[in-house]
Amino acid sequence: MLLSAFVLGLLQLGGAKPLLSKRWNDLAVKHAWVETPRGWEFHSAPPQDHLLDMRIALKQNKLDDLISSLYEVSDPAHERYGQHLSKEEVDVLVAPHPDSIEAVESWLGYHDINPADAHFRSTAGEWITIRVSVAQAERMLNTKYGIYYHAVSDNYVVRTMEYSLPVELHSHVDVVTPTTYFGTLHSMRATSFLQPQTNSLTDDKDSFAAVISPLAVPASCGTTVTPACLRALYNTTNYVPKATATNKLGIAGYLEEFANDADLQTFFKAFRTDAVGATFTHVQVNGGLNTQSDPGVEANLDIQYTEGISFPTPNTYYSTGGSPPFDKDTFTPTNTNEPYLDWLNFILNQTTIPQTFSTSYGDDEQSVPEDYATTVCNLFAQLGARGSSIMFSSGDNGVGGGDCLTNDGTSRTLFQPAFPASCPFVTTVGGTTKVNPEVAISFSGGGFSRYFAQPSYQSASVAPFLTNLGTKFSTLFNASGRGYPDVSAASNGFQVVIGGRTSSVGGTSASSPTVAGIVALLNDFRISEGKAPLGFLNPLIYSTAKTGFNDITSGSNPGCGQTGFTAIAGWDPVTGLGTPDFLRLQALIA
């Protein structure tokens, strides 16, 4: 969208700058850290001519209408249930108000940037990306950028400790990046880990792929998990997908990982022989990798278990890349290296999208600026409104990893919720272990958000847990926050083929694709019956589908030097509503 004639006229007047200077020099802080985010240290100042791709998120004019629509089309008791929105209908609701467009474009013009030269604009106009130098960005945001180093990942980023915007823009702009969000492809956490201490199945005997009766799931499935175990445990063994021309399952992958085709075939030969020869679609986003030379544990885990459960449903693996390491001697543009935005902007720009997604990554909520987290969470709401079910791992640190000290300057010890697991518009998946019965696994991430309020869809389920808990841990968590996980699944001893060899892998990264595979089958059933896919799951699973889960009533998730929460009858912040029973859920959504 071009500058309005009025704004252009102002800029062409000799006195334009003085007239506009008061408007654009009255600044207020948008976000600031009181201390450098944990794990990062200041390295040096970047060259002033180093280029950044600055993303500006304009406030969405009808966001409340979008969220209302999301809840209506996701609530089985509502007359609009299943009437998901098209991309064009979502775009109308998320488009910025003309006043917001005028204000942002006038501000850019004041800084001698022509919005017509924007590097990228979303189709609804709520995102604009401009290419600016560090010097320009510092003037625009009244800040100083630095090069920061993350020792654990050996990663450098260009970020700032705070940034400001003109007071007038605070009501028109949600967030500007890259600024104070330090998370990157390499510093964010994958929620899986190798388990070398756990025995793995090292050959391809037919017995590993043999059908297991749901009535007699062997105890070995509690520690050495295969697709046959999961299909029996969660009652999908005899379901044959029918809507494979329409129904799709997507995996969002980060950390420059990719899934290996040869390993998938080895996995099929060992664990699901009827799927041998099946493939999946590779999509590379923002420089994502697919060299097939050094497969990622996380990527192989995800694709092998979504395929292992949902076959022959078509799967797509999205490998999201990022900017190269910072090089002070080159001045080529670096993009924001912020993976959620990279992937979300890509997927929301597509006309058709998978009906089910799984993602197995996350950060401590407190490490993500609240304005950034809210903006990203609202993008997940767009996906849900369009009819997609989005699963996220709950994390592998119980109620919090490490010392759990706050980063607000007070250094208090508090339980540390994870993001995006804490977003109310995703379905978050915790972890279990053992069978007959399943129990909560100790690392299952769970708790209560400090950014997002408890949504109404879960209040009746969360209230009994809080009543039972009483005053225990009352100073360590936000009882009025969004509680998670929502559901759970096995997360221990998954047999994954990596580089041709079978290894045991654990983590809620295993439980998220497991649930996604089951949801994909439920979507297949709905679509094959001429009905809409399930879309955003939470209003359904906390109401009419609540009895479709196996309640987990033992185990806990320690962390932060505390015993953590305990799984009890009903919902709990360790295993959520429990683990899925496909046949029961199928009957409930019919």
Q: What tens digit of pLDDT does each residue of 305-314 get?
A: 999 999 999 9
120-161, pLDDT tens digit by residue? 899 999 999 999 999 999 999 999 999 998 888 777 889 999
159-197, pLDDT tens digit by residue? 999 999 999 999 999 999 999 998 765 444 454 556 665
Mean pLDDT of the chain: 89
Percent of the chain with pLDDT over 70: 88
The stretch 395-422 carries a mean pLDDT of 93
Q: Which of 344, 338, 253 is CA-nearest to residue 299?
A: 253
Phi and psi torsions of 289, nearest 5°: -95, 155
Helix, strand, coil shares of the chain, percent, nearest 5, are 35, 25, 45
Question: Does residue 327 have a pLDDT over 90?
Answer: no
190-325+332-589: CATH class: alpha beta
Distance CA 439, CA 444 (A): 11
pLDDT in the model for residue 322? 59
Buried b (16+ CB within 10 A) or exposed e, 313-343: bbbbbbbbbbbeebeeeeeeebbbbbbbbbb
- Residue span(s) of the chain under CATH 3.40.50.200 come to 190-325+332-589
- Residue set of the binding site for Ca(2+): 551-552, 570, 572
- CA dist 316 to 42, 123, 284, Å? 38, 23, 10
Phi and psi torsions of 409, nearest 5°: 95, -10
509 is catalytic: yes
Do the Cβ atoms of 170 and 58 come closer than 8 Å? no
Do the Cβ atoms of 295 and 263 come closer than 8 Å? yes
- DSSP code at position 328: T
CA angle 422, 425, 427 (to 5 degrees): 70
Do the Cβ atoms of 420 and 392 come closer than 8 Å? yes
pLDDT tier at 22 (50, 70, 90 boundaries)? confident
Buried b (16+ CB within 10 A) or exposed e, 520-548: bbbbbbbbeeeeebbbbbbbbbbeebbeb
Q: Which of 476, 478, 472, 469 is CA-nearest to residue 449?
A: 478
> The tokens of 350 are what?
């597509």
pLDDT in the model for residue 159? 93
Distance CA 195, CA 147 (A): 35
21 is catalytic: no
Q: What is the largest CA-CA distance in the chain?
A: 83
Do the Cβ atoms of 367 and 407 come closer than 8 Å? yes
pTM of this structure: 0.92
**Amino acid in the structure at residue 396:** D
The residue from 509, 511, 512, 556 that is catalytic is 509
Distance CA 363, CA 181 (A): 11
Strands 494-498 and 189-190, how do they pair? unpaired
Best-predicted range by mean pLDDT (22-26, 214-218, 376-380): 376-380
298 is catalytic: yes
Q: Which of 351, 412, 395 is CA-nearest to residue 484?
A: 395
The residue from 298, 363, 371, 438 that is catalytic is 298
